[in-house]
Amino acid sequence: MKTYDYVKTKREDVQEIPEKWIGLVRGMLKAYSRFNIGVYKVSKGRLMNTFPGSDCPICIVTTTGAKSGLKREVPLLHLPYQDKKLMIASQGGMDVAPAWYYNVRKHPEIDFLVKGVKKTYIARQVSDEEKAMLWPHLCSLYPDVDEYQARTDRNIPVFMCELKGN
């Protein structure tokens, strides 16, 4: 069992996702995400603009498929940091990274759609030291991320995204 000094939640305090439910959970997330993206885009971010069950705002991130080269959209937590954006490839603390993680690793130029405004950013995965430094900020924006990291042995990747041309 892997632990990280900056994670305050203990593994024994986190409810595991039963293995038999992983496929169902991923399928439901995919279907909900498609619906969320459609409503968010049509309403220019006025509807379905927070993460379910929280008041944390979301944005739509457009990536380029690592294998297909096709544009892919995904609703993610909107995590501003100074004049940058952060992304967490948590997938709720599942033991596998979300598909968008591989897209961003291969094609780091991404678009963020926030409240109807689209801007292009360049993403880079932060080091473990940077992640530890950013962790309190991430938890202040979305406290459940601490539980997600406690749930898995996977070192959940964090990306720092800078506005293209800066």
- Residue 50 to residues 38, 39, 136, Cα–Cα distance (Å): 14, 12, 21
**May I ask the CATH class of domain 17-163?**
mainly beta
Q: How does pLDDT run across 21-41, given as a tens digit for each residue?
A: 888 888 888 999 999 999 999
- Has residue 149 got a pLDDT over 90? yes
- Residue 82 to residues 13, 76, 100, 136, Cα–Cα distance (Å): 32, 18, 23, 14
Residue among 132, 93, 89 nearest 110 (CA): 89
Pairing outcome for strands 84-88 and 109-114: unpaired
Residue 104's pLDDT band, with cuts at 50, 70 and 90, is: very high
Q: State residue 54's pLDDT score.
A: 87
The C-alpha atoms of residue 41 and residue 22 are separated, in whole angstroms, by 28
Q: How does pLDDT run across 48-61, given as a tens digit for each residue?
A: 999 988 899 999 99
Average pLDDT over residues 114-130: 96
- Has residue 88 got a pLDDT over 80? yes
- Has residue 166 got a pLDDT over 80? no
65: Cβ contacts below 8 Å, ≥ 6 apart: 71, 72, 103, 107
> Would you list the domain boundaries of the chain?
17-163
120: Cβ contacts below 8 Å, ≥ 6 apart: 109, 110, 111, 163, 164
The C-alpha atoms of residue 28 and residue 23 are separated, in whole angstroms, by 9
Query: What interhelical angle do 144-151 and 128-141 show, nearest 10?
Result: 130
